[in-house]
Structure 1
Amino acid sequence: MLRGESVEGLMQDFKIAVAQTTSKKGDVAYNLQEHVRAIKCAMDNAASVVVFPELSLTGYEPQLAQQLALTKEDARLKPLQEMAIEGNIYVVAGAPIVTGGKPEIGAIIFSPDGDISSYSKIHLHPGEDLFFQAGSDFKILDIKGYKIAMAICADTNNEEHVKHYAEHGVSIYVAGVLIGGSGYASDTDKLASYASKYHMLVTVANHNAPTGVWEPVGRSAAWDHKGPLAEVGVEANALLVSAQVNGAWTSEAINIE
């Protein structure tokens, strides 16, 4: 933790976790096991929601997206739905989502009441339109009185995206991303500026190992209006847990066992 060495003994009102994990190419079964481990860790640390990196269930594999695309009702996702219910936790997992045409780059959202919904990336990176179609609908989760905005990677490069959410009273902006070394400084500078300008918690979940042709750099992180809160190591399998403590945000990295 960068600001505040410990949250122990303080009043903790709310916790959100982002999961920095490894995704194997097209191996949904393996990737689900990694999600289950991370969700257990989030539950052990009393998080109300845990968010995974972009396309975390399949890896970032555009050329395979059509064959790997999932529906929200895919039977393989049942363990995530069950854990959300049993652990009273929202789980947000990345996957290509089946549509009538090209798949969308999606986040499948499992809620504690058993409901399954989704958010799809609105702003595509150049070239992604060859394999994916863009989403069109914004998504806000209302959890314990906190309005949480959903975003995926390139969404965060477009300030109109976060501005829309800010105008709707959002206090947390969270994204599953895939960020490499060359883009990390500029991307995170922009994320920090959103936290400052819109007075919200901003936090992102990044991959920590190569996926597709990309080499992500981990370093999942969180910022509030005062600046950086904390970040995870480059190769760590870890959660970054941000807590609202006595009216202020504090964050810490927790290794996934």
Structure 2
Amino acid sequence: MKIGIVQTKPVKGDVVANLADHQKWIGKAVERGVDLLVFPELSITGYEPTLARELATTKEDERFDAFQWMSDKYGIVIGMGMPIWASETDGDRAGGGEAGVMIGMIIFQPDGPRRVYAKQYLHADEVPFFVPGNEQVFLSIDDNRIALSLCYELSVPEHSVNAYSNRANIYLSSSAKTAEGMDKALNTLTGIACTYSMIALISNSVGPCDGAECGGQSAVMNDKGEVLAKLGSSYEGMLIYDTATGKVTQVSGTTRDRLTA
């Protein structure tokens, strides 16, 4: 199985431009036989909480039909970040309270229904803009069980404990973090990988986000917490981890940069 994580530079609030960029990266992934491709947190809009309510939609939005087509045609599972409306009936949100907007990952499955993983654990500064989801989502591909995580959740011990309890062997975080936040996240992921003998991957953005700058450094770790590969802090790119060989391949974006470990 091949898992791809993409490091993108979203255009603030420009869904059309960002979807076009997503299609480009999916094409690169398909050419390399990727089975699962995951983008950073809120990758379709950029991480911009103040715009979330204006840009929120549902997983069945017709703008996403092309991605379902690609998933069906090429047999690839795709996870993309988008603010998603919560409702009283959709099971992906926390029970009670008024409907609101969730930090969502839309999951496109070959010849299957679209799913949404909604961030369960919100950072304090996200609470004014979002409501939490209530169910952790796992993907089972070949002999692998992948636990999905959205940014801050990797810092919440209950999240990784639940992943381990559900027999996940891969922990995959979709994030939007500053350089300082990534330093902390990579240390935390090292602990998760070592404690639970999991492969750990993190996909992060670069460029402006919520008045700050995302710090890149998307990375892949083995189940001993050793960094197998890491992207830089300012450019787009993709890392592809092959579960059969344990090797990582880098695919460059707009600039050519050497793989660093």
TM-score normalized with structure 2 length: 0.90
**Alignment partner, residue 253 of structure 1:** 250
- Give the total of aligned pairs: 242
**Alignment partner, residue 10 of structure 1:** none
**Alignment partner, residue 49 of structure 1:** 36
- Which range moved further: 124-133 or 228-237? 228-237
SS at match of 1:136: coil
| Aligned 1:224-243 pairs, distance under 5 A | 224-226=222-224, 227-243=226-242
Candidates 129, 132, 140, aligned match of 1:131: 129
Candidates 15, 40, 53, aligned match of 1:66: 53
Deviation of 1:80 (Å):
1.0
| Aligned 1:124-163 pairs, distance under 5 A | 124-163=122-161
Amino acid at match of 1:124: L
Residues of 2 paired with 1:160 and 1:177: CA distance? 18
**Alignment partner, residue 30 of structure 1:** 17
Residues of 2 paired with 1:250 and 1:200: CA distance? 15
Residues of 1 paired with 2:180 and 2:146: CA distance? 28
Candidates 67, 71, 86, aligned match of 1:99: 86
Runs of 4+ in structure 1 deviating by more than 4 angstroms, as ranges, are none
2:179 and 2:233 in contact (8 A); partners too: no
Candidates 180, 195, 201, aligned match of 2:178: 180
TM-score normalized with structure 1 length: 0.91
Q: Deviations over 1:30-70 (max 9, x none)?
A: 00011001111111111100000000001111111111012
Pair 256,181 (structure 1): closer, same or farther in 2 beyond 3 Å: closer
What are structure 1's unaligned runs of at least 5 residues?
Answer: 1-13
Amino acid at match of 1:95: M
Residues of 2 paired with 1:212 and 1:186: CA distance? 19
Q: Deviations over 1:64-103 (max 9, x none)?
A: 1111012010011111111111111000000111113220
Residues of 1 paired with 2:234 and 2:25: CA distance? 15
Amino acid at match of 1:153: C
Residues of 2 paired with 1:125 and 1:214: CA distance? 16
Amino acid at match of 1:252: T
Deviation of 1:158 (Å):
0.7
Aligned pair 1:18/2:5, yes or no?
yes
SS at match of 1:182: helix
- Residue identity over aligned pairs, in percent, reads 33
Amino acid at match of 1:19: V
Deviation of 1:212 (Å):
2.2
Residues of 1 paired with 2:74 and 2:253: CA distance? 17
Candidates 142, 145, 169, aligned match of 1:171: 169
SS at match of 2:206: coil
**Alignment partner, residue 75 of structure 1:** 62
Aligned pair 1:244/2:243, yes or no?
yes
1:240 and 1:254 in contact (8 A); partners too: yes
SS at match of 2:213: coil
**Alignment partner, residue 259 of structure 2:** none
